[in-house]
Structure 1
Amino acid sequence: MPVTVNARAARFAAAYALLRAAADVADHWVQSDHQARTKGQHDHNDGQSSTAGRAACAAHVATYTATQAAALLAGSRLLGLRLRPGPVAAGLALSAVTHYIADRREPLRRLADATGGSAFYRLADHGMNGAYALDQAFHHAFETAAALIVSA
């Protein structure tokens, strides 16, 4: 018996794959070293600047969002998907805002502390980096939500 997939499910699967792949490219290839080192800076840490942190994070999120937008545009054309501009813009906005929040680091640390994950967040041993793992899980969750929005 043939299996049929509805159009929205196909759009969701494609949008998620495109957003996730673009996120990895944007975070690990497009992001500058300066952005990676500076985006989490806060005035309350010695030698750091909240202004520099916000600027670096905003610049990173701009290139991150542009990379995801390019992937969605190219991928949807190649796959013949009919993504509507409004849901695409809303999904990209959700991805961008939540990415900025996580990459400023303090909000994610506070969330880990509030949910009992502070020890894991601070783990930097045994080949693990808890802050990075929680950061990526946070991004994956909101990229899934963004793909649900995009596929509408």
Structure 2
Amino acid sequence: MFAAVFVALWVAHTIGDHWVQSSAQSAAKGKPGWSGRLADTRHVLSLTLTKGVLLTLTALVLDLHLTVLGLTVGLALDAASHWWADRRSTLAWLAKTLHRSEFYNLGSAAHPAHPTTAEGRPAAHLGTGAYALDQSFHVLFLFFAALIIAAL
């Protein structure tokens, strides 16, 4: 059951974080104050709904016996951790605390070896260290959520 729940959560996460999240939510969720908090909350609500839908589909097709308690606790932990990390300053603080700021800044103009064009301006690239740390943080909590959902 753990494997099926984890895969469903991971697939739903990638869909919810990249396809369901609006551009406005993505742009605003890291802003200070209530506008950022509300954008992050709207994102996490739609993300959690996406996870609920895919978990329900998985449970129905595979005849998994998931409990309301397991789903509530697992999805709440996942939602809270996702909201925390997506405020951006929080994850930057964690990276700094764990001495990972150089990797966090990889691919951005803040990194000492950032990619530049021939004119010396920041160059386009695929991804950043901040994005990689963000996604790995989320996957860690998907793991914990799947354990909880499968165990309760």
Common fold: TM-score over 0.5: yes
User: Is structure 2 residue 65 aligned with structure 1 residue 75?
Assistant: no
The separation in 1 between residues aligned to 2:19 and 2:10, in whole angstroms, is: 14
The separation in 2 between residues aligned to 1:122 and 1:21, in whole angstroms, is: 27
The separation in 1 between residues aligned to 2:60 and 2:54, in whole angstroms, is: 10
SS state of the match for residue 151, structure 1?
Answer: helix
Deviation at 1:51, TM superposition (A): 1.2
**Could you tell me which residue of structure 2 aligns to residue 106 of structure 1?**
89
**Could you tell me which residue of structure 2 aligns to residue 62 of structure 1?**
45
Show structure 1 runs of 5+ residues with no match.
1-10, 43-49
The separation in 2 between residues aligned to 1:138 and 1:24, in whole angstroms, is: 13
Q: Percent identity?
A: 42
The AA in structure 1 aligned to 2:23 is D
**Could you tell me which residue of structure 1 aligns to residue 10 of structure 2?**
20
The separation in 2 between residues aligned to 1:54 and 1:123, in whole angstroms, is: 26
Deviation at 1:70, TM superposition (A): 0.8
**Could you tell me which residue of structure 2 aligns to residue 37 of structure 1?**
27
The AA in structure 2 aligned to 1:65 is T
Deviation at 1:13, TM superposition (A): 0.2
Calculate the TM-score normalised by the size of structure 2: 0.86
The separation in 1 between residues aligned to 2:14 and 2:67, in whole angstroms, is: 24
SS state of the match for residue 68, structure 1?
Answer: helix
The separation in 2 between residues aligned to 1:92 and 1:73, in whole angstroms, is: 13
Deviating above 4 A after TM superposition, structure 1's stretches of 4 or more consecutive aligned residues are: none
The separation in 2 between residues aligned to 1:130 and 1:68, in whole angstroms, is: 25
SS state of the match for residue 140, structure 1?
Answer: helix
**Could you tell me which residue of structure 2 aligns to residue 117 of structure 1?**
100
Root-mean-square deviation (CA, aligned residues, Å) is 0.9
The separation in 2 between residues aligned to 1:58 and 1:88, in whole angstroms, is: 19
The separation in 1 between residues aligned to 2:31 and 2:105, in whole angstroms, is: 17
1:4-60 deviation per Cα after TM superposition (whole angstroms, max 9, x unaligned): xxxxxxx10000000000000001110000000000012xxxxxxx21100100000
Show structure 2 runs of 5+ residues with no match.
108-113, 116-124
SS state of the match for residue 98, structure 1?
Answer: helix
**Could you tell me which residue of structure 1 aligns to residue 68 of structure 2?**
85
